[in-house]
Homo-oligomer: A and B are copies of this chain.
Amino acid sequence: MGRKRTKPDKIRLTEVAKLAGVSPITASRFFRNPAALSVGKRVRVESAAKELGYVPNLAARALASQRTEVVGVLIPSLTNNVFSDVLRGIYDTLDGSRYSIQLANTRYSIFQEEKLLRLFLAQKPAGLIVTGINQTAESRTILESVDCPIVQIMEIGPAPVDMMIGFSHYDAARAGISHLLEQGYRRIGFLGARMDPRVQRRFEGYQAAMNDAALFDPRRVVTTSTPTSVTLGGTLFADLVAKAPDIEAVFCVNDDLALGALFECQRRHISVPEQMAIMGFNDLEFMASAVPTLTSVRTNRYEMGRDAATMVIEAIEGRRPAQPVVDLGFSVMKRQSSAPRN
Contacts and interface: CB of A to CB of B under 8 A. Distances in A.
Contacts of A56: 122
A123 interface: yes
Interface string A168-196: 00000000000000000000000000000
Interface string A78-89: 110100110110
A59 B286 CA distance: 44
A79 B90 CA distance: 12
A88 B227 CA distance: 14
Interface in A272-289: 285-286, 288-289
Interface in A52-108: 55-60, 62-63, 68, 78-79, 81, 84-85, 87-88, 91, 95, 100-105
A243 interface: no
B289 A122 contact: no
Tell me the interface secondary structure of chain A in the complex.
helix
Contact of A289 (B62, B63, B231): B231
Interface in A221-238: 229-231, 233-234
A260 B231 contact: no
A124 B291 contact: no
A121 interface: yes
A87 B91 contact: no
Contacts of A78: 84, 87-88, 91
A260 to B, nearest CB: 6
Contacts of A103: 101, 103
A79 to B, nearest CB: 5
Can you tell how many copies of this chain the complex includes?
A: 2
A123 B123 CA distance: 13
B102 A95 contact: no
Instruction: Pick from A58, A68, A267 the residue with the most CB of B within 10 Å.
Output: A58
A58 B120 CA distance: 10
- Residues of A in contact with B, size category: 35 or more
A29 interface: no
A263 to B, nearest CB: 5
B121 A230 contact: no
A286 B266 contact: no
A118 interface: yes
A253 interface: no
A153 interface: no
Contacts of A233: 289
A306 to B, nearest CB: 13
B68 A79 contact: no
Interface of A: 55-60, 62-63, 68, 78-79, 81, 84-85, 87-88, 91, 95, 100-105, 118-119, 121-124, 229-231, 233-234, 256, 259-260, 263, 266-267, 285-286, 288-291
Given A260-B286, A267-B291, 16 more contacts: A55-B121, A59-B63, A59-B123, A59-B124, A78-B87, A78-B91, A84-B84, A88-B105, A100-B104, A101-B104, A230-B289, A231-B285, A256-B286, A259-B286, A263-B289, A263-B291
Counting from the closest, the 4 A-B pairs by CB-CB distance are A59-B62, A230-B286, A266-B291, A59-B63
